[in-house]
């Protein structure tokens, strides 16, 4: 059953205001096994180097992150990544249009695994649609002028040589 948009928005905002350890514990109560997520790094296919990146601002709304979410039971990672990308940003891509990043899986020390995919779309003709609950805002940012990122986003981008931690990750 899907909650009405307004109620879902209030639920997400309440959830994201909880301390991180409490949020993680709540998720583990619902999904008791190792959590597996799917993340998509979406670049603007029209932008000159260094390029532009699609980022989302989610509740509580202080920092920006990548389109991502947990995989459903028995869901293929590329399918989950495409689903989350569409749900969170309105960008519709076939799972076959996603390229597995190298490395494709990032294991986080706090108990989850992210499968990571790459995609490129033309920003000028790709509408961004957010629900105002789970995602407050979606926008394109130049790689050399990124907004404040969530810590996990900064770390993940750094693995792929992008963002403020790219140099630190490479060394």
Which domain CATH number covers 17? 3.90.79.10
In this structure, is residue 123 part of a structural domain? yes
In this structure, is residue 136 part of a structural domain? yes
The pLDDT value given to residue 168? 54
Would you place residue 171 in the very low, low, confident or very high pLDDT band (cuts 50, 70, 90)? very low
Find the DSSP H helices in 62-144.
77-89
Would you place residue 18 in the very low, low, confident or very high pLDDT band (cuts 50, 70, 90)? confident
In this structure, is residue 167 part of a structural domain? no
Average pLDDT, stretch 35-39?
91
Lowest-confidence segment of 21-25, 67-71, 119-123 by average pLDDT: 21-25
Those residues with Cβ within 8 angstroms of residue 98's Cβ, 6 or more apart along the chain or in another chain = 40, 78, 81, 82, 117, 118, 119
pLDDT at 170 over 50: no
In this structure, is residue 166 part of a structural domain? no
Task: Report how far residue 133's alpha carbon sits from residue 137's, in angstroms, rounded to the nearest whole number.
Answer: 10
Tally of structural domains, the chain = 1
The pLDDT value given to residue 50? 87
Average pLDDT value for the chain? 89
In this structure, is residue 77 part of a structural domain? yes
In this structure, is residue 170 part of a structural domain? no
- Percent with pLDDT over 90 in the chain: 62
pLDDT at 76 over 70: yes
Question: What is the domain extent for residue 137?
Answer: 5-159
């Amino acid at each position: 059953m899907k909650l009405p948009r307004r109620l879902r928005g209030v639920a997400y905002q309440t959830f994201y205001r909880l301390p991180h350890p409490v949020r993680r514990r709540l998720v583990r109560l619902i999904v008791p096994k190792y959590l597996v997520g799917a993340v998509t790094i979406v670049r603007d296919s029209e932008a000159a180097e260094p390029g532009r990146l699609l980022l989302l601002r989610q509740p509580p709304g202080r920092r920006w992150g990548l389109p991502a979410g947990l995989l459903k039971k028995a869901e293929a990672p590329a399918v989950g990544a495409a689903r989350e990308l569409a749900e969170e940003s309105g960008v519709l891509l076939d799972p076959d249009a996603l390229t597995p990043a190298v490395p494709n899986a990032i294991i986080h020390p706090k108990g989850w695994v992210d499968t990571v995919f790459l995609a490129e779309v033309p920003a000028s003709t790709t509408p961004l649609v957010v629900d105002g609950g789970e995602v407050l805002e979606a926008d394109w940012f130049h790689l050399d002028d990124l907004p404040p990122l969530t810590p996990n986003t900064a770390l993940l981008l750094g693995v792929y040589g992008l963002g403020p931690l790219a140099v630190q990750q490479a060394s």
